Copies of this chain bind each other. A is one copy, B any other.
Amino acid sequence: MREVAVAGIGQTKIEEQWEKSLRELAGEAALCALEASEFNRVDAVYVGNMMSSSANHQQHLGPYIADWIGMRYAEALRIEAACSSGAAAFRAGVLAVASGDVESALVVGVEKMTDSPGDEITAALATAADADWEVDQGITFVALNALIMRRYMHEYGWEKKDFAPFSVNAHANGSHNPFARFQSPISEADYLKAGMIAEPINLMDASPMGDGAAAILLLPFESSSLKPGLKPVKVVASAAATDTIAAHGRKEATWLKAAELSSKQAYSQAGLSPKDINVFEAHDAFSIMAALSLEACGFAEKGKAPRLALEGEICPTGRIPISTRGGLKARGHPVGATGVYQLVEVIQQLRGEASGTQVENARIGMAQNIGGSGSNLITHILKTA
């Protein structure tokens, strides 16, 4: 396998982007990534998107976006793995370049969620769960996560307030990110008084949806087209694993088995261990998911992730900084684009471009994207060359 490197990145602000169409949103991020790498032609475009079928009445985003950004005739397709669609598209790009078949792969994550009524978006999000065995029983995604969080609190004796640091850290970091949906810090008191959505998950545990796109251009590491002067970042691990689509089917409700598997594979590919990771973009769609990811990936002992957070170790100056540009909680969660945002942010950290929340001497970064309630886990490790 060839080594794969990052040539350029791009992203849009996450917000209600009603004045831009789906293709304009994707185009903005994609053209930014191409411009950054001084590239005007790519072999392939891999689009990560979850819900354009219902939210925008548009599928077939491959040619839809490729032509819009001037890549007519290039290979182009869409990858869907629910909320992990972004990382799945990135992995497709990595494998295509690594195989030698594709010389340049543009990965675009895009989601435009705020044009549609809320009940339609709730229904679209529910397609990531089991239609027969979960959704037909009336459960929503927040409710699924609430069940898991309640069980976790019960098993390990944590209280609601112990989850505050996840949200507080995310919002503090997001306040330095001009692309973040929410750029205001919050206090523990703000967290505790937020309205309840599905007990014990309140508004400050849940990531906001939004419209946004992020893009990354991948080239072979040995390519002479890599722009000189830019700090080179290599993809040193790419691993994916799944679990049952229905949460109730899993052996242990409070353990992300697929996260354990995909992170172990990733560490093994890179010849690294959790202690080598300088920055970790975790999938904090809900506070509980950030906690479970930290444990499954070996950054905290089982049942002890809130302790890590309470001790400040998830902050940019801590032992394992997460959500360094706001995470899903504050940067926002345009579902199919999120995985690409996470990777863009890891790259910013490795290049030393994470103004305001730069992790000192960040050389190795990891991003983990979760699809469904823990049914699809995709882990990447990137490293400065």
A202 → chain B, closest Cβ, in Å?
26
Q: Across the interface, do B130 and A64 meet the contact criterion of CB distance under 8 Å?
A: yes
Q: Is the C-beta of A34 less than 8 angstroms from some C-beta in chain B?
A: no
Q: Across the interface, do B1 and A73 meet the contact criterion of CB distance under 8 Å?
A: no
Contact string against B for A residues 215-239, beta-carbon threshold 8 Å, 1 for contact and 0 otherwise: 0000000000000000000000011
Q: Is the C-beta of A371 less than 8 angstroms from some C-beta in chain B?
A: yes
Q: Across the interface, do B81 and A261 meet the contact criterion of CB distance under 8 Å?
A: no
Interface residues of A in 32-86 (CB under 8 A from B): 44, 50-54, 56-64, 66-67, 72-82
A295 to B102, CA, bound (A): 27
Q: Across the interface, do B82 and A60 meet the contact criterion of CB distance under 8 Å?
A: yes
Q: Across the interface, do A76 and B132 meet the contact criterion of CB distance under 8 Å?
A: no
Q: Is the C-beta of A96 less than 8 angstroms from some C-beta in chain B?
A: yes
Determine the interface band of chain A, counting residues with CB < 8 A from chain B: 35 or more
Q: Is the C-beta of A128 less than 8 angstroms from some C-beta in chain B?
A: yes
A175 → chain B, closest Cβ, in Å?
33
Q: Across the interface, do A59 and B72 meet the contact criterion of CB distance under 8 Å?
A: no
Q: Across the interface, do B100 and A1 meet the contact criterion of CB distance under 8 Å?
A: yes
Number of copies: 2
A371 to B76, CA, bound (A): 11
Q: Is the C-beta of A315 less than 8 angstroms from some C-beta in chain B?
A: no
A136 (CB) vs chain B CBs: closest residue: B57
Q: Report which of B53, B102, B372 forms a contact with A60, defined as CB distance below 8 A.
A: B372
Contact string against B for A residues 363-375, beta-carbon threshold 8 Å, 1 for contact and 0 otherwise: 0000000011001
A131 to B22, CA, bound (A): 11
Q: Which residues of B contact A123 (CB under 8 A)?
A: 57
Q: Across the interface, do A57 and B135 meet the contact criterion of CB distance under 8 Å?
A: yes
Q: Across the interface, do A243 and B63 meet the contact criterion of CB distance under 8 Å?
A: yes
Q: Across the interface, do B60 and A245 meet the contact criterion of CB distance under 8 Å?
A: yes
Q: Is the C-beta of A192 less than 8 angstroms from some C-beta in chain B?
A: no
Q: Report which of B79, B129, B131 forms a contact with A79, defined as CB distance below 8 A.
A: B79
A126 (CB) vs chain B CBs: closest residue: B57
Q: Which residues of B contact A177 (CB under 8 A)?
A: none
Q: Which residues of B contact A67 (CB under 8 A)?
A: 242-245, 249
A41 → chain B, closest Cβ, in Å?
13
Q: Across the interface, do B64 and A245 meet the contact criterion of CB distance under 8 Å?
A: yes
Q: Across the interface, do B60 and A127 meet the contact criterion of CB distance under 8 Å?
A: yes
Q: Is the C-beta of A98 less than 8 angstroms from some C-beta in chain B?
A: yes
A102 to B63, CA, bound (A): 27
- Given A1-B99, A53-B51, A78-B80, verify A63-B132 contact (CB < 8 Å): no
A105 → chain B, closest Cβ, in Å?
11
A79 to B61, CA, bound (A): 11
28 CB-based A-B contacts, threshold 8 Å: A1-B100, A51-B53, A51-B59, A53-B127, A57-B123, A57-B126, A57-B127, A57-B131, A57-B135, A58-B127, A58-B131, A59-B127, A60-B128, A60-B371, A61-B80, A62-B242, A63-B243, A63-B372, A64-B130, A64-B245, A73-B243, A73-B261, A74-B242, A76-B242, A79-B79, A95-B99, A95-B101, A95-B102
Name A residues whose Cβ lies closer than 8 Å to a Cβ of B: 1, 21, 44, 50-54, 56-64, 66-67, 72-82, 88, 92, 95-96, 98-102, 123-124, 126-132, 135, 238-245, 249, 257-258, 261, 371-372, 375-376
| Besides A60-B245, A77-B240, A77-B376, 7 other A-B contacts (C-beta < 8 A) | A61-B80, A67-B245, A67-B249, A72-B242, A75-B241, A78-B81, A95-B99
